Structure 1
Amino acid sequence: MSDFDVIVIGAGFSGLYALHKLRDQGLRVRALERADAVGGTWRENRYPGARCDIESIEYSYSFSEEIQQEWVWTESMPAQPEIEAYLNFVADRLDLRRDIAFGTEVLAMAFDETDALWRLETSGGAYAAPFVVAASGILSVPLEPDIPGMASFAGESLFTSRWPDTDVDLVGKRVGVIGTGSTGVQLIPVVAREAGHLSVFQRSAAFTLPWTVHELAPGELDGLKADYADIRAAQRAHPVGAARLSAFSVLLDMLASPPIKTATREEQLRAIDERGVMGALNWGDVFFDIEANRMATALYGEAIARIVEDPDTAAALVPTHPFACKRPIIDQGYYETFNRDNVTLIDLRNGPIVSVTPRGISTAQGDVDLDVIIYATGFDAMTGALSRMKVRGLQGVLLGDYWAEEGPLSYLGLAVAGFPNLFTVQGPGSPSAATNFVAAMEQHIEWIADCIGYLRAHGYRTIDAQPGAQRDWVEHATSLVAPTVLTHPSCNSWYNGANVPGKKRMYMGYTAGIPEYRRRCDEIAANGYQGFTLA
């Protein structure tokens, strides 16, 4: 017997909606959250400059008209404090906290084949339920840096993925930032304005898209709210679930642009004259032709050189990986930051970090004395959270081992063969990080809720993805990116797991778009959950 029908792991965007949706169906639901508050990734990543790259009115729940109309966004693209406040508002508005066990980390879970129950061991005791919804986040497990001597540093060490709740005073201090991915690009301009001197340790230069974020003018939000029905309809029809401006919509617009390989030199220069680094990348063949991608990168370097005054620094900021290989980054004054007298770029391609010392960071290029080191070193994306839990399915198979040996396999990104009654939100093979996370997540939760309702209504105790259907889905998902630069050997990113030592390399997103994904999922459900074994 169990006290609950469903256990939800996590209380971020996905977990909160899963709790609400399933509870609304009359199910006994308990959400387990390891933190002491709601928010998930948007609670933990509170570093200076943290911001979403999708407009606030689209990076929000669409299931409740009341929440849409009551919540007041203040900026076009929300910063971390506003998103965290929004999630707290939702938790209160829907009275969700009463069914969330805070400070409860899932340590292990195993499927009991006799009783058809998941039995969970947590830091707060044991739980059991027929179904588990893993809303544990796709960017919730940070990669801990492994640099010799880290513990010896006499100054202050900070990690962007667990930034202190209290204010951090960087004024006048010598600060080093390790990492220039999305987090670093957002963080660095803010820290530069406070630090006495900032040293940026760059392992891999990033492509960034300069963006203007504005405060919503009086009456602007009211106008948007009045159009919410049309905005949501456009979202549902849009491949990335963000019909308005976003980093992803910009990428889609590029597909309709002319090819760089047939552009004249004058046309290429005009592109950066008019749009800067954005213009350098705005060509329709960069996603499919590695030579075109490299041409665009060279043009991108010319655009950087027009912004960054020091030629050596400008050259070091030019990426070496294909554009679109990694998640596009929006920035506000990133390249301009390197024109400041108090900022130094240390390109680790010229000599790596050797160790952290009591005084700072030692590299093959020399030593840098520091008062503060900030680590912005990325995540074990998509599979990291569940891989680190001891999740055991049929015959005691450990999910982490299964993914390590076979690759991050999943059916629809919703289930893994051999792990019955375990639903994964935004798992590998789903639209996930290649789209507006919230729009894709809502579809996931609604499909899962409908599935559980169907199973209960028809007397089924278990549902398990069939290995053949899972294999076919993985082949379909990977075939979508086969003609693109995403599969080029030089494309190393968390999208394909290449940022995690030992992780089996495979592109983990579904790139045909949310509408096509939704159509396929609905078709599978309409056919009696084709590709699943129901028992």
Structure 2
Amino acid sequence: METDGKTNGSNGAHDTAKLDALVVGAGVAGLYQLYRLREQGLRVRAIDAASSVGGTWYWNRYPGARFDSEAYIYQYLFSEELYKGWSWSEKFPGQPEIERWLNYVADRLDLRKDIQFGTTVKSAHFNEATQRWLVTTDKGDVIDTQFLVTCCGMLSAPHVSFPGQETFKGHLFHTARWPKQPIDFAGKRVGIIGNGATGIQVIQTIAGEVGHLKVFIRTPQYIIPMKNPKFSAADAQAYKSKFEHFKQRLPHTFTGFEYDFEHAWAGLSPEKRREVIEDCWNDGSLKLWISSFAELFFEEPVNAEISDFVREKMRERLKDPKLCDLLIPAEYGFGTHRVPLEQNFLEAFHRPNVEIVSVKNNPIERVTPVGIQTADGSVHELDMIILATGFDAGTGALTRIDIRGRGGRSLKEDWARDIRTTMGLQVHGYPNMFTTAAPLAPAAALCNMTTCLQQQVEWIDNCIRYMRAKGLKVIEPTKDAEDGWVTHHDEIANATLIAKTNSWYLGSNVEGKPRRVLSYCGGVGAYRQKCDEAAASAYQGFAMN
């Protein structure tokens, strides 16, 4: 590693490492970004707080964590050899297998030598005199880099907000910071807060292991039952033979999945609509949500009919009217929140050791030394508390770093006023900073993540190649271009029912966060086309010098 500056042992000063690019994060995006930038000959390093690679799939090792994208499409498609060199054991594998896969990728591409683990980026300040970024870490490293590429993940900043947590005398865990050592639930009184996709996976997994489980529920969720067949060698060979098909298809569908919307609601009879809905439901995947009828995102009557269908399916399994009232959504429509896949989640509530505590009208007030206290003064005594409380999505991973652009402007302060990006790839006022999985791109939520992250990584890599070929040093989106993208994003988002529903998709789970649909709703294929057009126009809307 090249350095400039001198080490002074007496005052603990560190050398300044000089890089062409620094990649923050070693998950799905960070690994590929490091590979691409290194392949074009840049001096590049990746930094990650974890002790190994994996990103989301390193941190989220809670009981029951698994894919809800099919394993054979949640993959890198830039190398047929890499794709075919790994075989999945089932359609929706669990976290341990996913983590092993990402380690396989890192080893196959020989990436570890350029990753600094166990390190957190504390600050990144743009120096207008040198037109480079000066980055500091919690280890005292100082890095002078031309390009800063953030691959921090959409859901990587845990959102926890209960007073008194530090006083709890039992064990308290956040699902996104789950310990590596096994947790013994036997005989324990366990409380879990949150019943989104993560909470559901934990609840259905531990219900049979704990002594008693209290599930604190504010907003019930629509669900889809997961069908998760094991893969034989023949199955693996069958999906591997479709590599070229996936490579051509996935980047152009609405959500980056294999399946896409094929039917128009208005063109079908009621009987045919029901048949399509049933077929999608029976697939045991996210197909009903992202491949039945696109109208469910835009038209209330269509959404209402599909919502009624899912409620009917849930009632058939729950039976108990009281459980139906607590677990079946009534106040918002199917698909306007993140839709989880589940395996016997509803049946967990038929167990005598599982109890629902509704906190909709009686919210959690605080954590006490012995458990959880609600607004009515009740204290639920517990041995263990699990927080499946979600994330400061999209923005949190970046606003927790002290990022300062031109004129010392702060990204945290800018996004506290208004969450804005240019195609989720750059932010006006922050030259030479590229972002993946950032707001206002489909990678913020409505996408098979590997599809979208690969596309963004490749766009960033190609942009930097273009700059180097032209002898250009600095790139930044113009204010007009960013205004145009935000307007376009909002026009599409505000036409959807998503914009009318409180959820983390709008940041409404974080108090005080500016309200804006975080994910681009125009579709993965359409977004890719917009990005490609920007590149083909010699990056019109981006000031370069």
TM-score by length of 1: 0.92
Match of 1:106 in 2: 121
1:138 aligned partner, one-letter code: M
Name the structure 2 match of 1:460: 472
Q: Is the 8 A contact 1:293 1:322 kept in 2?
A: yes
Q: Which residues of 2 match residues 88-167 of structure 1 at below 5 A?
A: 88-124=103-139, 125-146=141-162, 148-167=163-182
Q: Which residue of 1 aligns with 2:264?
A: 256
- The match for 1:393 is 405
State the distance in 2 between where 1:295 and 1:235 align. Answer: 28
Q: How far apart, CA to CA, are the structure 2 residues paired with 1:274 and 1:381?
A: 29
Q: Secondary structure at the match of 1:164?
A: coil
- 2:441 corresponds to which residue? 430
Using the TM superposition, name which of 122-131 and 282-291 deviates more. Answer: 282-291
Alignment CA distance shift 1:318-1:533 (3 Å): same
Q: Which residue of 1 aligns with 2:72?
A: 57
Residue of 4, 29, 44 corresponding to 1:14: 29
- Cα distance in 2 for residues equivalent to 1:272 and 1:516: 28
Q: What stretches of structure 1 of length at least 5 have no aligned partner?
A: none
Return closer, same or farther for 1:283/1:233 CA change in 2, 3 Å cut-off. Answer: closer
Contact 2:187 2:212 (8 Å CA) reproduced: yes
Q: 2:492 aligns with which of 446, 457, 480?
A: 480
CA distance in 1, matches of 2:517, 2:164: 34
Q: Secondary structure at the residue paired with 1:219?
A: helix
Shift in Å, 1:235: 1.4
Aligned length: 522
Unaligned runs of 5+ in 2: 5-16
**1:441 correspondence with 2:453:** yes
SS in 2 for 1:339: coil
C-alpha separation in 2, matches of 1:82 and 1:273? 29
Structure 1 letter corresponding to 2:159: L
| Residues 329-356 of structure 1: CA deviation (Å, up to 9, x unaligned) | 1111111211112211111124222332
Question: 223-232 or 176-185, which moves further after superposition?
Answer: 223-232
* Inter-partner Cα distance in structure 1 for 2:380 and 2:66: 29
C-alpha distance in structure 2 between counterparts of 1:115 and 1:492, whole Å: 44
Q: Tell me, yes or no, if the aligned pair for 1:309 and 1:339 is still in contact at 8 Å.
A: no
State the Cα deviation string for residues 169-192 of structure 1 (Å, max 9, x = none).
102221111001110011110010
Aligned to 1:500: 510
The alignment status of 1:514 with 2:521, answered yes or no, reads no
Q: Distance in 2 between matches of 1:128 and 1:279?
A: 46
**2:385 aligned residue (367, 373, 379):** 373
What is the CA deviation profile of residues 103-129 of structure 1, one whole-angstrom value per residue up to 9, with x for unaligned ones?
A: 121101100111111000111310011
Residues 403, 153 of structure 1: CA spacing in aligned structure 2 closer, same or farther, 3 A cutoff? same
Q: Which residue of 1 aligns with 2:11?
A: none
Give the 4+ runs in structure 1 shifted more than 4 A.
257-260, 266-285
TM-score (norm 2): 0.90
Q: Secondary structure at the match of 1:361?
A: strand
CA contact (8 A) 2:224 2:281 kept: no
Whether the 8 Å contact between 2:167 and 2:367 is mirrored in structure 1 is yes
Structure 2 residue aligned with 1:218, among 223, 233, 239?
Answer: 233
State how 1:177-326 maps to structure 2 within 5 Å.
177-244=192-259, 252=261, 256-257=264-265, 285-290=295-300, 292-294=302-304, 296-319=306-329, 320-326=331-337
Deviation at 1:529, TM superposition (A): 0.5
Retained in 1: the 8 A contact 2:222–2:311?
no
The CA deviation string for residues 171-225 of structure 1, in whole angstroms up to 9 with x for no partner, is: 2221111001110011110010211211110011111111111210231101211
Deviates more, 1:321-330 or 1:444-453: 321-330
The 1:258/1:339 distance shift into structure 2, 3 A limit, reads farther
Output the CA distance in 1 between the equivalents of 2:183 and 2:224.
Answer: 28
Q: What is the distance in 1 between the residues matched to 2:466 and 2:23? A: 18
- The answer to whether the 8 Å contact 2:27/2:53 transfers is yes
1:120 match: secondary structure? strand
Q: Flag the 1:273–1:382 CA change in 2: closer, same or farther, 3 A.
A: closer
What is the match of residue 36 of structure 1? 51
1-side partners of 2:62 and 2:128: how far apart? 44
Deviates more, 1:273-282 or 1:367-376: 273-282
Indicate yes or no: 2:336 matched with 1:344: no
Q: Distance in 1 between matches of 2:463 and 2:343?
A: 43
Please state how far the C-alpha of 1:263 moved relative to its aligned partner: 5.2
Give the match for residue 539 of structure 2. Answer: 529
1:258–1:184 CA distance, 2 compared to 1 (3 A): farther
Amino acid paired to 2:245: D
